[in-house]
Amino acid sequence: MALEGFLGRALTDPTTGLPNVPYFRMIRDWEERRASRRKYSVRVLKIQVKGGDERIRRSLSWRLCREIRSSDLIASEGSSHFRVLLTSPDAENAEAISTRIVDMATEINLRHPTAERLELQVELDTRTLPVTNGPCEPCDPATLESSGEREAYHSPPAEDKDGAERA
């Protein structure tokens, strides 16, 4: 993800180069609305980092980026607080992902035995409630008839002026 120019500087944490929390909140709100429409889960992991020097914390931030999928989002408040937005199917595996993140910090500590130990506290954000996965409800023909949308629902796809079908 590349944010450039003035807007990029406003939405990026200067310490880590990752998106900042205001940008994260905007994307989280958008993704939660989308998830409720499409019936999938969204979870947020909060990561608090203690110990380690700036070089090790910056290394942690980039390793976190490699650990999560490209459809998920990681943001930071400096190099001591991170938030990870997990969408489905990662949202259902949030506990396993948090364990992998803690294991990653253990591995960093083993690679740098002379540096101050890096300690992570990972928790699930209770504000973000998972949306239950379930099949979409089928359209009720009686409801369509009463709302006058039956014709639109059963009509063939419209055509562009070029003759191509539109959905």
How do the domains of the chain map onto residue ranges? 9-124
CATH 3.40.50.10490 fits 9-124, yes or no: no
User: How far apart, in whole angstroms, are the C-alpha atoms of residue 82 and residue 66?
Assistant: 14
Give the model's confidence band at 11: pLDDT under 50 very low, under 70 low, under 90 confident, else very high.
confident
pLDDT at 149 over 70: no
User: How far apart, in whole angstroms, are the C-alpha atoms of residue 82 and residue 92?
Assistant: 20
Q: Return left, alpha or beta for 131; rule: phi > 0 is left, psi -120 to 50 is alpha, else beta.
A: beta
User: How far apart, in whole angstroms, are the C-alpha atoms of residue 121 and residue 48?
Assistant: 5
DSSP summary character for residue 136: P
User: How far apart, in whole angstroms, are the C-alpha atoms of residue 57 and residue 45?
Assistant: 17
The closest of 93, 76, 8 to 84, measured between CA atoms, is 76
pLDDT of residue 29: 93
User: How far apart, in whole angstroms, are the C-alpha atoms of residue 29 and residue 23?
Assistant: 10
pLDDT digit string, tens, across residues 62-107? 888 888 888 899 999 888 999 999 988 888 888 999 999 999 999 9
The proportion of the chain whose per-residue pLDDT surpasses 90, expressed as a percent, equals: 32
Q: Mind giving me the DSSP string for 13-78?
A: -TTTSSB-HHHHHHHHHHHHHHHHHHT--EEEEEEEEESS-HHHHHHHHHHHHHHS-TTSEEEEET
- Helix 54-67 and helix 94-111: axis angle, to 10°? 140
